[in-house]
Chain A
Amino acid sequence: MPIIHKFDYLKPKSLSEALTVLAQSKNAAILAGGTDLVDMIKENVAQPDLVVDIKGLDELNQIKFENDTLFIGAGATFSDLIESKIIKEKYPVIFEVAKTVASVGIRNRATVVGNICSAVPCMDSGPLLIAYDATVQLAGQKGERKIPAAEWFIAPRKTALQKGEIVTGVSLPYPKVKHAGCWVKLGRYTGEDLAQVNLLILALSDGTFRISFGAVVPIPVRAKKIEKLLNGQTITPSLIEKAKQLIEEEIKPITDVRATKEYRIHMAKVMFERGLDAAIRRLNGNGQAYGTSMI
């Protein structure tokens, strides 16, 4: 089906050129992989007057690890993440997340940054970034801006992005102590699906935990009450039970065509328990390989 909406297209050669045209346009959209944007234009959900393709900006296409921080550029695709050596070595849970995003042909185009800019509740990148205390890096004509991932998400499909700004990438500081993680995503089957519940757990060797939920909340959240309960404690079955009781206070699931609220709550508890166990096992060196589904 053809796109009815008409727009202009520009592929800037430098970030400053991109920022200049963005500042001049009324309703520009940034195009990276296009897997969300082109679909939204087809459906008339997005009606940009100008599409700015940032795939020509080499500085945004990088995945690099410097100063104990991972930078994922706005052009980096999920396939890039899966194939990245740095990620396999230092952030294997990102590999685990990326492997559950859509399918190869989408992952070859879709980007983490595009995912958090679309900011639909079922996105997979949100819980990842907030668990890592990531920073969203923006460039605008007035200069650069850094926003903690937790403040980036404002509401479904609404972010802290301001007019004229481009997200250049996200930075994920490497936790200071030994750690391991687990990503658990609920789909309706093994193949590609949008999450009905997703969660990421990082278990750190200092006895602390970072736990984030997506899809069962309008915007991804850190499960602060659960973290507080678990931090520094010996993880016992009764403590896990207490933590599971808190889940309903941390999430706000809805019933929709993909799952009922009841099932989402039920699964959030099951997934939390399994994810926690898997993360701790991985931390202790006896866990299952990253990429193994826990459900």
Chain B
Amino acid sequence: MEENKYIGKSTVRIDGKAKVSGAAEFIDDLDFGPDLLYAAIVESKFAHAIINKIDTSEAENIPGVVKIVTGKDFPFRFGLYMHDRFIFAQDRVRFVGEQIGAVIARDAATALKAAKLVRVDYTELPAILNVEQALAKDANLIHPELRHYKHVPWFFPKSDTNIAHLRKVRKGDVEKAFKESDFIFEDTYTVPRYAHCAIEVHGAVGLYDNSDRLTVWTASQSPYTQRNLFAEALAPLGLSHKDIRVITPFIGGGFGGKAGVSMEILGAALATAVKGRPVKVLWSRAQEFYNTYQRQGLTARIKVGLKKDGTIIAMDNILNWDAGAYVEYGANVVNAAGLSASGPYNIPNVSIDSVCVYTNLPPGGPYRGFGYSEFLFGLESHLNEIAKKMKIDPIQLRRKNAIREGDILNYGGKMNANGLIEAIDKVEKEIEWGKKETSSDPNKAIGKGIALFWKAPAMPPNASSSAFLKFNEDGSINILISGMEIGQGLLTVMAQIAAEVLTVPPEKIRVETPDTDRNPYEWQTVGSHVTWGCGRAVESAAIDAREQIFDIVERALGKDRKSLYLENESVKSKTDNNFSLKLCDFIIAGIQKPDGSYRGGPILGRGMFMPEFTSALSDPETSQGGHPNVHYTVGASAVKIEVDKQTGKVKIPKVVLAVDVGKALNPDLINGQITGGLLQGIATVLYEDMRFNNKGKLINPNFTDYKIPTSMDIPDEIVPIIIEVPQPDGPSGARGVGEHTMIPCAPMIANAVDDALGIRIKSMPITAEKIALSVKHS
């Protein structure tokens, strides 16, 4: 095989200079001129209440107020997978902070001041603040209209309950298998809600100009999905897709929080209320916490049946998700997790109920890991407990049951080629598993923990990608895509993919962030799938361009196209060593024939990718029959911790993560995902969680009390291990890796704490306080 020249190399980021020089523009950096208006939001004080009356008269009298809108101005439902939301609350509010109306003013201070003067008269309803309350018999219904909601065909809402969706998986004969089990272990694990905490808050600026064109600038991972949802929601106003343009500059972190449509709908809707003038909605840090998507809470009851030798033959999991007030996106987290909640194991008999439960807390939604972090906390903790009770080494137990290529997945499909065993072996060696270590400090104990992980992109079966590739006069290239650069390095990797095909170095390729008028379609940048899907589109655009190049050379110069190849930005011939034609000499101008006429013209490659083998059609009672997941990325991670028995504080001398990326297109960027994902995951278990009071109000909507780690809270040593078992349908064999580096962290730490102290903590987070008090009480 020929050595790759650009693929597999740790190219420096093509957006590196923009980012270190301050040139990179984010939503709030864009200028909109002196007629820019600002919107402030009137928010619900209650977690659950009927809105009786909204009095805007006092606010209207404030000088500088341009317009005040409320739910009655936009009685339109919307949502990604289920239409359960309104742009503004209509008759009822369902979480503290929900948008009831907006004040649009000349300046932000006036808008904020006036928004405080909008009087809302409520009748408070009992708030449902956890899944137990929501699932109780005779529980109040948060969405009495649930039966009428439009949703994707793979959702199964239960009318007249608070269950928005139930994903049922039934594989084999679980009941029989438990009877045949030598050991059965059952336990319950809980995970609270978490916040993404991108350092940039959400923002949107809308302009509905006097020619009826709506442009919305957003901080988003999903420009096309936004355009589609804006068009759906605002269709009653006569807007069509072609009239709507979404422009997404660089975004300051996404992590799933900027996927789909959350507050951006306000930018689009408010623009229609002040035609001809741009209007900006920018979330405060507090709003960022309580009115965007949150990671859903989970109560997971896990039951495992095993034979004496440690073979897992049965698993029965019930996952109850606190999905919040609206689940238009979050229900798909529940769905995806449900399909895969048996973990990366080959288990013949599986029963999973993944239950999406409405509560009066803020809407749940996508967060890096998409449900897998949550169920893996319980599952991987539980496997260690089982290993302990059965006196089997926890790694041996995992290796014995690890899923392998061709094993049958929960929905009946076959597991893809993967390097899970290699990952287990490598982290086992690197962390020196089995070598007991003691601290020189008598107050401290050292423990090691491991967790395996897997995750598939969660996406509709027709989530497609496309790309344009344009050559410039000097042979440099612009690539147009709508995959979002959210920090992962997409622009760089797309340049590398095109570079490899066209022999043009990445530094001569510019790839920028999307504008739906100019850049072709991409479903969303979520699910660790854009390197794979958008990468295939870019690869095919590059190949398309190359074929056009060969075509021109053949037509103009009579060269046999079969003999042509590209090298060092030139066309060469295998049969004529003297032939060499620089790309820059003809990719715009064409090739001149002896008669003075030209052949060819601007080279414009086009690429498209659709995962044609996927389908979400399956039996709702069993999930058998479809092929919802394109592939799983797998791996293993292990950690060594030093825990202070008195203070409960945990230090991490070493952490190792091995992930099978198929092919590392840019190893340095993958290491970046590993380093960053690990810390984000470690923070969810050691430091962070969202705290609500008994009225459903978030009490830590700030970095003062929602503690995301600082540069002083990092592991001493991180060992990233890249494994490459190619994904046959991926670009150069690559598959996604963005989320996977975060998801093993919680159980891995929980297992290390147990190893160090003999204490099993079954609820996240595992803070210093929780550890210290557990030690004290043990």
Q: Is there a contact between chains A and B in the complex with CB atoms less than 8 Å apart?
A: yes
Which residues of chain A have a CB within 8 Å of any CB of chain B? Answer: 1-4, 103, 186, 188-194, 257-260, 262-263, 266-267, 270, 295
**B707 partner residues in chain A, CB cutoff 8 A:** 188-189, 191, 193
- Chain A residue nearest to B651 in the complex (CB): A190
Indicate with 1 or 0, residue by residue over B692-707, a CB within 8 angstroms of chain A CB atoms.
0000000110001101
| Residue B773 at the chain A interface, CB threshold 8 Å | yes
Q: Which of A1, A2, A190, A267 contacts B772 (CB 8 A)?
A: A267
**B600 partner residues in chain A, CB cutoff 8 A:** none
**Residue in A191, A258, A267 whose Cβ sees the most chain B Cβ within 10 Å:** A191
* Extra inter-chain contacts (19) besides given A191-B711, A270-B646, CB under 8 Å: A2-B109, A103-B710, A188-B687, A188-B768, A189-B710, A191-B707, A191-B709, A191-B712, A192-B710, A193-B707, A257-B699, A259-B769, A260-B769, A263-B769, A263-B772, A266-B773, A267-B772, A295-B644, A295-B649
CB of B607, distance to nearest CB on chain A (Å): 43
How many residues on B have C-beta within 8 angstroms of the other chain's C-beta atoms? 29
| Residue B396 at the chain A interface, CB threshold 8 Å | no
**8 sampled A-B residue pairs with Cβ under 8 A:** A2-B112, A186-B647, A188-B767, A188-B768, A189-B707, A194-B704, A257-B691, A263-B772
Check A191/B710 contact, CB under 8 A, given A257-B705, A295-B644, A295-B647.
yes
CB of A208, distance to nearest CB on chain B (Å): 27
Check A1/B710 contact, CB under 8 A, given A257-B705, A259-B769, A266-B776.
no
- Chain A residue nearest to B688 in the complex (CB): A188
**A190 partner residues in chain B, CB cutoff 8 A:** 710, 712-713
CB of B641, distance to nearest CB on chain A (Å): 14
**B462 partner residues in chain A, CB cutoff 8 A:** none
| Residue B113 at the chain A interface, CB threshold 8 Å | yes
**A191 partner residues in chain B, CB cutoff 8 A:** 707, 709-713
CB of B253, distance to nearest CB on chain A (Å): 18
**A259 partner residues in chain B, CB cutoff 8 A:** 769
Q: How far is the CA of A191 from the CA of B711 in the complex (A)?
A: 7
| Residue B108 at the chain A interface, CB threshold 8 Å | yes
Contact residues of B between 605 and 620, Cβ < 8 Å to A: none
| Residue B430 at the chain A interface, CB threshold 8 Å | no
CB of B689, distance to nearest CB on chain A (Å): 10
| Residue B500 at the chain A interface, CB threshold 8 Å | no
**A258 partner residues in chain B, CB cutoff 8 A:** 705
**Residue in B112, B113, B767, B768 whose Cβ sees the most chain A Cβ within 10 Å:** B768
- Chain B residue nearest to A293 in the complex (CB): B649
**B113 partner residues in chain A, CB cutoff 8 A:** 4
**A188 partner residues in chain B, CB cutoff 8 A:** 687, 707, 767-768
**Residue in B107, B113, B769 whose Cβ sees the most chain A Cβ within 10 Å:** B769
Check A263/B773 contact, CB under 8 A, given A190-B713, A270-B646.
yes
- Say whether B107 contacts A2, CB under 8 Å: yes
Q: How far is the CA of A186 from the CA of B767 in the complex (A)?
A: 13
Q: How far is the CA of A258 from the CA of B767 in the complex (A)?
A: 11
**B112 partner residues in chain A, CB cutoff 8 A:** 1-2, 4
Which residues of chain B have a CB within 8 Å of any CB of chain A? Answer: 107-109, 112-113, 284, 644, 646-647, 649, 686-687, 691, 699-700, 704-705, 707, 709-713, 767-769, 772-773, 776
**B686 partner residues in chain A, CB cutoff 8 A:** 189
**A2 partner residues in chain B, CB cutoff 8 A:** 107-109, 112
**A194 partner residues in chain B, CB cutoff 8 A:** 704
Q: Which of B107, B646, B687, B772 contacts A189 (CB 8 A)?
A: B687
Q: How far is the CA of A270 from the CA of B713 in the complex (A)?
A: 22
- Chain B residue nearest to A44 in the complex (CB): B116
- Say whether A3 contacts B109, CB under 8 Å: yes
- Say whether B109 contacts A189, CB under 8 Å: no
**A263 partner residues in chain B, CB cutoff 8 A:** 769, 772-773
- Say whether B709 contacts A4, CB under 8 Å: no
- Chain A residue nearest to B693 in the complex (CB): A257
**B713 partner residues in chain A, CB cutoff 8 A:** 189-191
**A262 partner residues in chain B, CB cutoff 8 A:** 773
Q: How far is the CA of A257 from the CA of B706 in the complex (A)?
A: 9
CB of B441, distance to nearest CB on chain A (Å): 11
**A295 partner residues in chain B, CB cutoff 8 A:** 644, 647, 649
Q: How far is the CA of A257 from the CA of B690 in the complex (A)?
A: 10
Top-8 shortest CB links A-B: A191-B710, A190-B712, A2-B109, A263-B769, A191-B712, A270-B646, A189-B713, A295-B647
CB of B555, distance to nearest CB on chain A (Å): 62
- Chain A residue nearest to B711 in the complex (CB): A191
**B644 partner residues in chain A, CB cutoff 8 A:** 295
CB of A273, distance to nearest CB on chain B (Å): 9
**B649 partner residues in chain A, CB cutoff 8 A:** 295
Q: How far is the CA of A2 from the CA of B64 in the complex (A)?
A: 15
**Residue in B108, B686, B709, B710 whose Cβ sees the most chain A Cβ within 10 Å:** B710
**A192 partner residues in chain B, CB cutoff 8 A:** 710
Q: How far is the CA of A191 from the CA of B699 in the complex (A)?
A: 21
- Chain B residue nearest to A188 in the complex (CB): B707
- Chain B residue nearest to A196 in the complex (CB): B769
Q: How far is the CA of A186 from the CA of B112 in the complex (A)?
A: 37
Q: How far is the CA of A191 from the CA of B713 in the complex (A)?
A: 6
- Chain A residue nearest to B285 in the complex (CB): A1
CB of A281, distance to nearest CB on chain B (Å): 15
Q: How far is the CA of A257 from the CA of B702 in the complex (A)?
A: 12
Q: How far is the CA of A115 from the CA of B113 in the complex (A)?
A: 30
- Say whether B108 contacts A189, CB under 8 Å: no
Q: Which of B109, B646, B691, B768 contacts A4 (CB 8 A)?
A: B109
CB of B700, distance to nearest CB on chain A (Å): 5
Q: How far is the CA of A186 from the CA of B644 in the complex (A)?
A: 13
Q: How far is the CA of A123 from the CA of B688 in the complex (A)?
A: 23
**Residue in B108, B647, B700, B773 whose Cβ sees the most chain A Cβ within 10 Å:** B647
**B711 partner residues in chain A, CB cutoff 8 A:** 191
**A193 partner residues in chain B, CB cutoff 8 A:** 707
- Say whether B768 contacts A1, CB under 8 Å: no
Q: How far is the CA of A259 from the CA of B772 in the complex (A)?
A: 12
CB of A244, distance to nearest CB on chain B (Å): 12
CB of A79, distance to nearest CB on chain B (Å): 17
**A1 partner residues in chain B, CB cutoff 8 A:** 108, 112, 284
Q: How far is the CA of A266 from the CA of B776 in the complex (A)?
A: 9
**B710 partner residues in chain A, CB cutoff 8 A:** 103, 189-192
**A267 partner residues in chain B, CB cutoff 8 A:** 647, 772
**A186 partner residues in chain B, CB cutoff 8 A:** 647
Q: How far is the CA of A103 from the CA of B712 in the complex (A)?
A: 11
